[in-house]
Structure 1
Amino acid sequence: MKKCAALALCLAICLSMAGCTNNTGGIGSTSSITKNQDGDDTSRGSAFAANAGTTASKTDYDSLKNNKIGWGQGREMDDKNRPVAAVETQQKLGDEYNAAFIGPEDKVIYLTFDQGYENGYTGKILDTLKEKQVPATFFLTYDYCKEAPDLCRRMVAEGHTLGNHSQKHKSFPTLSVSEANADIDFMHQYVKETFGYDMKVFRFPMGEYSERMLAVVRDYGYKSIFWSYAYKDWVPEAQPDKAESLEKLKKNLHPGAIFLLHSVSSTNTAILGDFIDYALSQGYTFQTM
């Protein structure tokens, strides 16, 4: 009997030690970072990615369409001045893939800015947002983070939302599932480690997506954010007229509007305050994604 008890005790201790060994590399594990010859981080292990991988393994990505879709809100409006294409796509894909093509039918506006590179205007945009006490969402690329870290820190300090706009700004439907996950995770970890910010939203580069890539982003733990209004504001050398652009923004104001603006635009910088004032006068409020 004593020998049996001793054997049982030894077995229990061994199993306990094995269990501790199996727990390494989980949520409490340390991320590994390597750098290339340019000093850029090239590989990152993360608990967030590991958890996402567990979720992703439940999705049969091969069964999902991967044809590239270029998002645009269209020009047809419903009786509430909401783009029909955005409303219909929201109904079709929004819940299944945790995506927002347009917000709910409330008098709320979501200002979003895509930050591909710095052109000298983001500071002024932040000044206007601070003056008007309006929050916004800034979608960051890796190049932007490296070029303008102080502005990124200011965005966080002043209560704005940071979103993942990818590491390399490639068309996601052209990537494999593993490549897409690696790109998303790189940016997530870089922003978290550099700015202490845990991003929750993602915007596809160039607005190019597929159902498969929507699933990849969802399974990572992000919400995909599109837009319900955008105009050609991203060419610095061909900026649209300020008065005409302000009228476009006013004309396309609608409940649940997700406005896509680019901070490289001198026009956007000049008219932002007037647009905010107009929207507030029409009973709208501003929120972040």
Structure 2
Amino acid sequence: MEKDQLPTRRTLLTGVAALGAAGAGGALAAGLGTEPARPPAPAPGPPQRSPLKPSEYRLRPLAGHGAAHATPRRPPVRSEPILRVTGRGRTMLLTFDDGPHPEYTPQILDTLAKYEVRATFFVCGEMADYNRDLLSRMSDEGHVVGNHTWSHPLLTSLTRRRIRSEMERTSEVVEQAYGEAPRWFRAPYGAWNRAAFQLGAELGMEPLAWTVDTLDWTTPGTGTIVDRVEDGAAPGVVVLSHDAGGDRSQSVRALRRYLPVLLDSGYHLTVPRRRLL
């Protein structure tokens, strides 16, 4: 589904930005803190990069998740989505929405595997249902799969019953193909409401938003996407990109460029755990 076909997209993103400014300071009191200052722009010229040491970036098996089919503790009902993460050092999350896509998602997974980095994929159920093999691969390679509803609707326009159906159907597919029900969800377009928070919690999921939006769905050019990620990089940042919903070749090429730069800059690219939030 092409996001630029929905006239509400820019308005909704503006609302999410305002929510982040209001909520990041103290409401999500799980130690999220205030937003760090943006690092200064790099000096011109090619960066001096030391050789990668993959063992420094390889993540240990996921902690805090328990056995694959263990019943998770029901999370609290929040009034705002989580916008940032905490963790030792320069911790960041890379997240990808709307997939899995049979062309672009494997390329993203290949790049992540090359640098031994894990990411979070917020999948749409109708896409996941047709690409279950990719969810299995995500499980095998240690990525986290979250719930992005079944058909990517605007939740604020749906009844409570429809919202539940969108979430439940997706969770069922994820559990079948990934091996574990999702513990995280993200509202399409960043449009949250009370029912979404309540139903997500009832299904054992925490709401995760983002801090840096690459706006890659607008296909602004590979270089622009790279600049947005590198300029916005800071401890606790959650980066939003897409692996479906249109031509995502720019997103794939951008990942190949900014991922090694982030690693060489000392960023720890991880996946969400309850203890990180």
**TM-score, with structure 2 as normaliser:** 0.68
Equivalent residue number for residue 232 of structure 2 = 252
Deviations 1:89-142 (A, max 9, x none): 133357664531122275111010002462622111101100100000111112
1:92 aligns with 2:92: no
Residue type of the alignment partner of 2:84: I
Q: Is residue 2:101 matched to residue 1:101?
A: no
AA matched with 1:230: D
Correspondences of 1:21-60 after superposition (within 5 Å): none
Contact kept, 8 Å, 1:114 with 1:139, in 2: the verdict is yes
Measure how far apart 1:224 and its partner are: 0.5
Mapped contact 2:136–2:177 kept (Cα < 8 A)? no
Report if aligned partners of 1:117, 1:143 keep a CA contact under 8 Å in 2.
no
Check the 8 A contact 2:99/2:105 in 1, yes or no: no
- 1:209 corresponds to: 192
1:1-289 aligned at under 5 Å gives the runs 70-72=12-14, 74=17, 86=20, 88-90=22-24, 91-92=26-27, 97-98=77-78, 99-104=81-86, 106-116=89-99, 118=101, 120-235=103-218, 239-264=219-244, 265-289=248-272
**CA distance in 2 between partners of 1:220 and 1:212 (Å):** 12
CA contact (8 A) 1:113 1:138 kept: yes
Q: Which runs of 4+ in 1 moved over 6 A?
A: none
Q: Distance in 2 between matches of 1:195 and 1:103?
A: 24
The percent of aligned pairs where both chains have the same amino acid is 24
For each residue in 1:159-217, what CA deviation from the matched residue of structure 2 results, as whole angstroms up to 9, or x when unmatched?
Answer: 10111111122111222223222221221122212442221000101211123422221
3-state DSSP class of the match of 2:110?
A: helix
Deviations 1:222-274 (A, max 9, x none): 10110001132124xxx222223212211111111100101142112112132
Relative to its length, the structure with more strand (as a share) is 1
* Separation of aligned partners in 2, 1:269 and 1:286: 17
Deviation of 1:71 (Å):
4.5
CA distance in 1, matches of 2:214, 2:259: 17
- State how far apart, in whole Å, the 1-side matches of 2:29 and 2:193 are: 13
Q: Cα 1:278–1:142, aligned 2, differ >3 Å: closer, same or farther? A: same
Number of residue equivalences: 209
- Report the AA paired with residue 252 of structure 2: T
Answer 1 or 2: higher relative contact order, Cα 8 Å, separation at least 6. Answer: 2
Rg comparison, structure with higher value: 1
SS of residue matched to 1:217: helix
CA root-mean-square deviation: 2.4
Report the Cα distance in structure 1 between the residues aligned to 2:184 and 2:217, rounded to whole angstroms: 22
| CA deviation string 1:10-36 (max 9, x = no partner) | xxxxxxxxxxxxxxxxxxxxxxxxxxx
Q: Does the 8 Å CA contact 1:108/1:285 hold for their aligned counterparts?
A: yes
SS in 2 for 1:186: helix
Secondary structure of the 1:209 match is: coil
**1 CA distance for matches of 2:77 and 2:23?**
11
Calculate the TM-score normalised by the size of structure 1: 0.65
> 1 or 2, which has the higher helix percentage?
1
